[in-house]
Structure 1
Amino acid sequence: MDIKTLHDADIIGISTAKNAFDTLATAFGQHVENWQHDVVDRLGHSEWTGTAAGHANTRITNLGTELQSAKQELGLVSRALQDAYDGFAAAQAHLISALDDAKAAGLTVGPDGGITWDNDPKSPTFAGHGAPEKAKQIQDRITAALNEADHADQTINARLGHLATNASNGTGLDSATAKADTDAAKALQQIPAAGTDPNSVKAWWNGLTDDQQQRMILNHPDQIGNLDGIPAAVRDKANQTNLKNLIQDRNNQLKNLGPAPKQYLDPAETNGGPVENPDYTEWKRKRDTLKEQLAGFQSIQDRLDGKFDDGAGGPHYDPPLLLLGIGDQGQGRAIVSWGDPDKARNVSSLVPGLNSNMAGVGGGDARTAKRIYDSAVSSAQINHDTPSVASVFWLGYDAPQLDGPSVLMKDRAVEGGAAYNQFLAGLRATHEGAPAHVTAQGHSYGSLVVGQATQHPGGLAADDIILVGSPGVGVDKASQLGVGADHVYVGTAKYDPVANAPSPAMLGGLGAAIYETFAHPDASWHGTDPASQTFGAQRFSVADGTVTDSHDNYFGKENKGGDSLPNIGKIVSGHGNTITREDPR
């Protein structure tokens, strides 16, 4: 597709063809109805019986089915032509808009897309000092419009070619074929359900025209933004729209709560004692929940807007900060990535643990992911590689909080593990070019989530696994995690109270503790201690820390976590063989 072809394309001709097929399909449908009424129904009410009648009835019934199938196929041609019109019209409009803006800016666009301008400040047609930047923007828009038209051309050509083949060889008269074609056309308009295989999601998305994709993003940002198998850049665009919607919704709900009911019931109603009004209790619960959600969403918006002065950069981040997931399910969902995981050669994805929440994602947690990014870039440079990194912070589950026994249970890790497995499968499906080197990381309870994610059929779409501050991952051996024991890396601070938590059996009394100590000396709360020799992983060096700070220092600055962060950077960048090692305990 070139500029002249798209600019001069007779889009109206496609609409005219579509209307002609509508007329044909309507007329054909009337013929089918007449056939049903004048032939099938009359024959059915006749008293004709016998062998010949049986054969005739069978053939007439089959012919009726073939006519209905042909009617469906004609309708599908009309639908394909409408999609072609929408796709080409959008691409043509985008091209014309870019060309108009180029002209207004004093830029001349050549037939091949090259852009020139008057660069003489003394000339009356001088394009201005910002002309190179404007030219680059215009050129990108022109290229995008041409690609949009190419995509529409390819997808519509495939659909019409399939229908033409059906018509020429007679397969379009088969009811099963017509149903399959109809279902496929409907599927293009229906968003796959959450949990659909990411490769199928990717195929569905690629089958849409650019205009259809834009309509999906505009009309269904909450679904598109959180669907594994959708490209990262698209998810970011949809989620940024959805985030603003979620913030506005919480503000509206808070406004509509109205004034607080009186806090206490009248003494006459309670025999004199102060009793909190149930209406106030419920009002306060709703208000507090909405405020907490709003604070979390706003924190992430502030991070995207560059309002955090913590060294991660300003509103125009380098690398870009992408929002790969946002939602209000459970305690909230949020996934951010420094760098585009669809383009990076090395992708890290960190699962947090105890006490993680949405507000933290916008604040320190996003900074943690940036530290991992920086460390991996540094490692690549030291090893004379061109850095190519994306660092994801994944809060796609309800992390345990310090308000109950959830951290002691596996259920949240099981549910989170399924979602994390799906997420990494989605990154694998949408990655461009050769598969990326993917490192799955779990901190604290998040390591148990990673462990559970590896136990799904097909394993986890990761090449290396990092476990830090882990209370166990639900398996007894590193070899059970599916990436090979030599690709499982463990960091455990000497005084980390979570990683050194005793197993449940050790809390069952003196006899149980003695038995557990001798029978299962490497037991942890959720299985074998990953830092033990029995587990069989590679252990890397970290600072000892203290009981109060060691659990949170694995991703901190070097003077806090020692070799921990540099070691993590080495693994993420594909240089795990250069880590500073520590003997298993």
Structure 2
Amino acid sequence: MADHRAALAAYERAAALAAGHHTDLDPATRLTHAHAWVGGGAPAFADALSRHRSALQSSLAGALHALALLVVRHGGPAPAVPALTTPVTTLAPVPGRFQGIDADAMTALVASLGRAAHTLPVAGARLAAELSGQALSAEPGHALGRIATWTAAQSDDLRRRLHRIRETVPGLSLPSGLAAYGLFGAHAADPGGAERLLARAGAGDEEAVTRLLSVQEGGADTGLAARIAAWWATLSAGTRERLTALPRFGLLNGLPATVRDRANRRWLAEQRARLERELATATADLGRLADPGLLGGWERIAARLRRIDLIEAELRPVPGHPEPLLLAFDVTGQGRLVVSWGDPDTADITVTSVSGLTSGLDAAHGDLERSRALWQQASYYSGDRAIASITWLGYDAPQLDPGLMDPAKSVAFGSAAAEGGKALASFSDGLHAAHRPSGNARAVVIGHSYGSLTTGRAAVLRPGRFADDVILIGSPGVGVDHARQLGVRAEHVWVGEAGNDPVAALGRFGSDPGDASFGGRHMPVGREVFTAAHSSYWQPYSASLQNMGRIINGQYEKIVQPAPLNTQPQLLMPELGDPTER
């Protein structure tokens, strides 16, 4: 009888411990569910927390069951073992593309883990003593000790990281990447070694920047831009200023747009100075050596200087438009140029234009004019919302040159679009990562001609988070058979095809986006003569430009029909007449 009473007393003391501690990790778990921390190490942390919470409750339950059986073995009545599993029910918000993170919630998470780390070691030791005192295995108590050790380690790590974030990043709503890679960075997978490369870059290692850009170009690391944004946000002002002097540093997606602009303009000036010195040397060598073989080298240097002239000319302020921001450039090879009219980090709406055949640095003027026209049209409809309009010439688009016969470069094949799509997906990651926290900011991507295929490849790589609306203009196909396969809701995939546009009629890459079976929404654009149709979409006052402006602003109900080219009845070509008379 004495053994029965001793076992029952031990059970009751253990039950009191279980009642007081089985929910110790519930507050932290609720916070991770309620605030929709996503990306980077956040999911791995949430999974680890859930496992430790389950282990805490199962260890306590296991101890109670062992003591209850002991009571029965010694002739006592079976105690009613309480259920120790608890539900965690919250109304979790759906994270937006530019949604911020509540810094106070991060503080509450650290505090709740700290409290559990303080109480669980004592509870574990007491439970182990109760079990050992009844000659039972003390493993459930030791398990609580291990859970306490893990919780303490998380609390210390998160407290240190949060302190650093709060010291360097102002405001109560923080970029989501700071939670993904700043707060939960210890749990973030890093197969490409980006964290080590960023540490090296922070110390001034130019090779590390080059390697980061290589990872970025590949488009496989979906969290790279967010990791860069979180890393940048916690650097000191002196370190930031020093890093902007590194060659190509401003090409990193995830950095603030104004930082990229400052770093890239600085690098552009340095390249000009270097190339001018090289050209002077090459000119002297030509005159001194009279070797015609040197002319090719001289011309390459001169061509790159002409490209710098072009970039500097395009960066001059345009009356009535915001200051252009130089987000990326490259004067070598086919050339690259990415310019934003308006700051994409603070804009309420960002639209990125992707061009196709024959586009590139040398022909950038027309693409930049189109982006300015889009900015002007979208701003006309936007009210007090700020617009950023970006020209993205960030890939080697097919050209009408000898490369036309090369499958890797030809407009007849999808190889260039596949490579460009990776780079465009990474660029899109950077726009989202660097944007100020916002619950209603919008991202729109417009792909024209072969650029629509590039846009389609990028959208498939980032399903559900590439853009709010995708507009396909004069598209020969986007590599899929239905709009929903782009990872964007089909009702937000818009297709504009001018009558007589020969490229839009090709349907070479997957289904023809203009067919009803593709599932996209028709954007009225009008009709032009055969030779002008493919480039007519940005004409001032045109229905196509107006409709793009409306879609950019999400004003779908205000889309207009094009004016008829002829108000008289048309027997042979009725599409030229008044649509209300058909």
Structures share fold, TM-score greater than 0.5: yes
Superposed displacement of residue 549, structure 1: 1.1
User: 1:334 maps to which residue?
Assistant: 337
Superposed CA RMSD: 3.1
User: 1:254 maps to which residue?
Assistant: 279
2:495/2:522 contact within 8 Å kept: yes
| 1:574 lines up with 2:517 in the alignment | no
| Distance across 1 between alignment mates of 2:248 and 2:196 | 27
**SS at structure 2 position matched to 1:377:** helix
1:453/1:460 contact within 8 Å kept: no
**SS at structure 2 position matched to 1:407:** coil
2:470/2:493 contact within 8 Å kept: yes
| 1:357 lines up with 2:360 in the alignment | yes
Q: Deviations over 1:64-117 (max 9, x none)?
A: xxxxxxxxxxxxxxxx9xxxxxxxxxxxxxxxxxxxxxxxxxxxxxxxxxxxxx
| Distance across 2 between alignment mates of 1:242 and 1:288 | 22
**Residue segments in structure 2 that go unaligned for 5+ positions in a row:** 1-159, 172-194, 563-574, 576-582
| 1:454 lines up with 2:437 in the alignment | no
Superposed displacement of residue 259, structure 1: 6.5
| Distance across 1 between alignment mates of 2:170 and 2:368 | 41
User: 1:222 maps to which residue?
Assistant: 248
Superposed displacement of residue 326, structure 1: 1.3
Superposed displacement of residue 185, structure 1: 6.5
Partner amino acid for 1:209?
S
User: 1:379 maps to which residue?
Assistant: 381
Structure 1 window deviating more from structure 2 (409-418 vs 192-201): it is 192-201
User: 1:346 maps to which residue?
Assistant: 349
User: 1:151 maps to which residue?
Assistant: 168
Partner amino acid for 1:340?
D
Counting only pairs closer than 5 Å after superposition, residues 97-496 of structure 1 correspond to structure 2 as 151=168, 188-189=202-203, 193-194=212-213, 195=216, 197-218=224-245, 220-223=246-249, 225-258=250-283, 280=292, 283-306=294-317, 312-313=318-319, 318-361=321-364, 363-380=365-382, 385-403=383-401, 404-405=404-405, 406-434=410-438, 436-456=441-461, 458=463, 460-496=465-501
Q: 1:421 to 1:183 in 2, by over 3 A?
A: closer
Superposed displacement of residue 532, structure 1: 1.1
Superposed displacement of residue 357, structure 1: 2.0
1:297/1:358 contact within 8 Å kept: no
Partner amino acid for 1:525?
R
**TM-score under structure 1 length normalisation:** 0.56
**SS at structure 2 position matched to 1:400:** coil
Q: 1:533 to 1:372 in 2, by over 3 A?
A: same
Partner amino acid for 2:370?
T
Superposed displacement of residue 305, structure 1: 2.7
1:332/1:357 contact within 8 Å kept: yes
Superposed displacement of residue 233, structure 1: 0.7
Superposed displacement of residue 467, structure 1: 0.7
Partner amino acid for 1:551?
H
| Distance across 2 between alignment mates of 1:151 and 1:186 | 20
Superposed displacement of residue 462, structure 1: 0.9
Q: Deviations over 1:354-386 (max 9, x none)?
A: 11121332x222221110001111122xxxx31
| Distance across 2 between alignment mates of 1:354 and 1:348 | 20
**SS at structure 2 position matched to 1:534:** helix
Counting only pairs closer than 5 Å after superposition, residues 2-13 of structure 1 correspond to structure 2 as none
2:452/2:478 contact within 8 Å kept: yes
Q: Deviations over 1:157-186 (max 9, x none)?
A: xxxxxxxxxxxxxxxxxxxxxxxx999966
| Distance across 1 between alignment mates of 2:416 and 2:306 | 23
| Distance across 1 between alignment mates of 2:377 and 2:462 | 32
Q: 1:556 to 1:434 in 2, by over 3 A?
A: same
Q: Deviations over 1:330-368 (max 9, x none)?
A: 31111000000000111000011111121332x222221
Superposed displacement of residue 151, structure 1: 3.1
| Distance across 1 between alignment mates of 2:504 and 2:196 | 55
Superposed displacement of residue 247, structure 1: 2.5
Superposed displacement of residue 284, structure 1: 4.2
| Distance across 1 between alignment mates of 2:493 and 2:235 | 40
Structure 1 window deviating more from structure 2 (464-473 vs 287-296): it is 287-296
**SS at structure 1 position matched to 2:326:** strand
Superposed displacement of residue 320, structure 1: 1.8
1:462/1:483 contact within 8 Å kept: yes
**SS at structure 1 position matched to 2:283:** coil
Partner amino acid for 1:401?
Q
**Residue segments in structure 1 that go unaligned for 5+ positions in a row:** 1-79, 81-147, 155-180, 263-276, 307-311, 502-523
Q: 1:335 to 1:187 in 2, by over 3 A?
A: closer
User: 1:531 maps to which residue?
Assistant: 514
Identical residues among aligned pairs (%): 35
Superposed displacement of residue 541, structure 1: 1.3
1:296/1:357 contact within 8 Å kept: no
Superposed displacement of residue 255, structure 1: 2.6
1:351/1:394 contact within 8 Å kept: yes
**TM-score under structure 2 length normalisation:** 0.57
User: 1:55 maps to which residue?
Assistant: none
Q: 1:296 to 1:459 in 2, by over 3 A?
A: farther
**SS at structure 1 position matched to 2:322:** coil
1:453/1:459 contact within 8 Å kept: no
